[in-house]
Amino acid sequence: MPELPEVETLRRDLSSLVLGEQISSVSVTNLRSIRAHTSAEEFSLPLLGSTIVAISRKGKFLSFTLNPRKGRRFALVAHMGMSGQMRNFAVGDDFPKHSHIRLELAGGSCLVFVDPRTFGQMYLDELDHFEFAASLARLGVDPLNQAELVGQAVERYFQSGVGVKWLMLDQSIICGIGNMYADEILFRSHLRFDRPGRSLDSRERGELACAIPEVLNEAVALRGSSLRDLQYRDVNGAIGGYQKMHLAYGREGQECLRCSGFIERIFLKGRSSFLCRSCQR
Ligand SMILES: [Zn+2]
């Protein structure tokens, strides 16, 4: 599932490709990908003739700010779900299977939303007075865009009796972390996934607060992680590079690279957690 680093990579690439472009044609071939709308027309009509004037991100959501020919600016929001990709093609190219939404741009390129598992979606939204998609206000602090607020947000973890991994996955506190980066952050912090937030001592609290932005920034620098299913691809179809740096996620049965232990995989609450019991306490 694309998490913050993968979506930030998309945002950066798209900003250099489609900013200032006008949408000339919209095609929707799977209504599940626009399930917030009652019809393809309701989704498509406001987009036609609109110009992309900004591309922002909060957590795992991408938001295009659109300037219509008439009326007020609005947002086109995209969430990649489990397997969503936002790809850039030339008009006339062969599109991959599961290309559910196509936005043709006046400059001759085509933005394509590809999503085999259809958990992702795109929808139109109002902008709030910060020119941000209104529906994203429910999300907590973004660890890249609001780095100065991460320390305060993490304090909420330390008041809770819930396991620290589940707190990191709660998008209303800090947004953008999913199962994969939670495991990498916990490994770097020497913490088990099920340690209650309020059981952490001051050294552990400090390590966790530092590890969150560190791991995410390092992953952005390597253009995100593509796992064995290769379902994360960038706008040009290339894979990321951070999976080679994973120390916990996906390494079950392998030696811990920090101590003499082994990485274990544990299934809990419908998710896999990867950890080394010898050096994560
Ligand atoms: Zn270890």
pLDDT digits (tens, 9 = 90+) for 15-49: 999 999 999 999 999 999 999 999 999 999 999 99
- Residue 113 maps to a domain: yes
- Residue 56 maps to a domain: yes
Q: Mean pLDDT, to the nearest integer, of 121-149? A: 95
Instruction: Please name which of 169, 17, 181, 175 lies closest in space to residue 86, comparing C-alpha atoms.
Output: 17
Q: Is 5 a catalytic residue?
A: no
* Whether residue 92 has pLDDT greater than 90: no
pLDDT at 225: 96
Instruction: Please name which of 182, 150, 155 lies closest in space to residue 168, comparing C-alpha atoms.
Output: 182
Largest CA distance in the chain: 64
* Residue 151, C-beta contacts closer than 8 angstroms, at least 6 positions apart: 209
More confident residue, 130 or 51: 51
pLDDT-derived band of residue 228, with 50, 70 and 90 as boundaries? confident
* CATH code of the domain covering residue 47: 3.20.190.10
Q: Is 104 a catalytic residue?
A: no
Phi-psi domain of 61 (left: phi exceeds 0; alpha: psi -120 through 50; beta: other): beta
Q: Which residue do the tokens 């912090």 mark?
A: 189
151 with 186, same domain: the answer is yes
Provide the number of structural domains found in the chain. Answer: 2
Q: Say which of 57, 58, 60, 223 is annotated catalytic.
A: 60
Q: Is 269 a catalytic residue?
A: no
Instruction: Please name which of 115, 142, 161 lies closest in space to residue 213, comparing C-alpha atoms.
Output: 142
Q: Could you tell me the residue range of the domain that residue 268 belongs to? A: 147-276
Q: Say which of 11, 12, 73, 271 is annotated catalytic.
A: 271
42 with 152, same domain: the answer is no
245 alpha carbon to ligand 1 midpoint, in Å? 15
* Whether residue 230 has pLDDT greater than 80: no
210 with 170, same domain: the answer is yes
Q: Last residue of a domain, which of 103, 138, 173?
A: 138
pLDDT at 1: 87
Q: Last residue of a domain, which of 138, 173, 208?
A: 138
* Whether residue 205 has pLDDT greater than 80: yes
The DSSP call for residue 132 is: S
Looking at every residue in the chain, the average pLDDT score rounds to 96
8 with 130, same domain: the answer is yes
Q: Last residue of a domain, which of 138, 173, 202?
A: 138
- Residue 281 maps to a domain: no
187 alpha carbon to ligand 1 midpoint, in Å? 8
What is the pTM assigned to this prediction? 0.96
Amino acid letter for position 206 = G
pLDDT digits (tens, 9 = 90+) for 142-181: 999 999 999 999 999 999 999 999 999 999 999 999 999 9
Residues within 5 Å of ion ligand 1 by Cβ?
Answer: 256, 258-259, 261, 276, 278-279
Q: Is 3 a catalytic residue?
A: yes
